[in-house]
Amino acid sequence: MQILNGNEVSKILKIEIKKEADLLRASGAKVPHLAAILVGTDGASMTYVGAKEKDCKEVGFNSTVLRFDAGISEVALLAEVEKINNNSDIDGLIVQLPLPAHINEKKITETISYKKDVDGFHPMNVGLMFKGLPCFLPATPFGILKMLEHYQIETSGKHCVIIGRSDIVGKPMSALMLQKNCTVTVCHSKTKNVKNYTLQADIIIAALGIPAYLKADMVKEGAVVIDVGITRVNDNTNLKGYVLKGDVDYEKVAQKCSYITPVPGGVGPMTRIALLLNTLQAVKNTSKNILKTNSQ
């Protein structure tokens, strides 16, 4: 069994991304600039945005975080998004989710210019992705593809079973694995006997958000297991008061598979890399005025 080490791969890819940013800077071209909008004080959201800021700094990108009170109105937030859409100094924009209940996330997502939508959530990017056309891929699926690519894991002709059908992981992942010539099965909360499907899988992508859901008896010997889950589980023995748990019963499943991602340190760092890659692509698009290919 080999661990798919997201921390290690992300370090390697960050060096490559930094080289590209340095080249842009040295040639007098525009340096990538990522903006993040953070509404309210949700702990996980603040951590994620802080990590994205740190990543930008590490690779030599500019970054701006716009923080707003949880009471900001939808109209005011839409106006802030429009301001960034019209600010040519900013190449990529993410609005950290979830947003407070009085704000329509769909409306906000659809207001971000699809040319700056480095999260790949805009319907234009979703449509382009499903057609296999140049676009911004959503960060988690894109990060998983980069991970599979790095470890040269064969996808063609393999059966990939995805557990979870969210708009940001399960659904796009299914389209992308299909494009990678996998036979794809998507299981979800209404699927009867998930084990029936996972036992046939060469590659399992668990993205349902239930800690330790995928047990060893659900996994075929030699399968590749990708764990997208990252749930905060209360733990008073820990300084933070919680531990991060994946969707896979790691210790036992690890004994059966060929490759597995740990949590933390697996998919998470790759998701952050994907956002950097999209931001780099965004600035290239502005200078060349084209959207490059999916494979970036």
Q: Residue for token digits 């969707």?
A: 247
Binding mask 254-283 for ligand GUN (x = CB under 6 A): ------------------------------
Stretch that binds ligand GUN, among 77-85, 94-102, 193-201, 244-252 (CB under 6 A): 94-102
Q: 158 or 171: whose CB is closer to ligand GUN?
A: 171
**Contact status: 227 vs ligand GUN (CB under 6 A):** no
Among the residues of the chain, which ranges form H helices? 6-26, 43-59, 74-85, 105-111, 123-130, 139-150, 170-179, 194-198, 250-254, 267-288
Is 208 a binder of ligand GUN (CB under 6 A)?
A: no
Q: How many CA atoms lie within 13 A of 210 on its CB side?
A: 8
User: Could you list the active site residues?
Assistant: 52, 96, 119
Return phi, psi of residue 41, to 5°: -130, 30
From 16-24, 61-69, 80-88, 90-98, give the range in contact with ligand GUN by CB under 6 A. 90-98
Q: Return the structure tokens found at 273.
A: 């890399």
Is 80 a binding residue for ligand GUN by CB under 6 A? The answer is: no
Closer CB to ligand GUN, 119 or 227, in the complex? 119
Q: Which residues from 168-197 bind ligand GUN, rule CB under 6 A?
A: 168
Question: Distance (Å, rounded) from C-alpha 131 to C-alpha 138?
Answer: 14
Q: Is 260 left (phi over 0), alpha (psi -120 to 50) or beta?
A: beta
Residues that bind ligand GUN (CB under 6 A): 94-97, 119, 139, 168
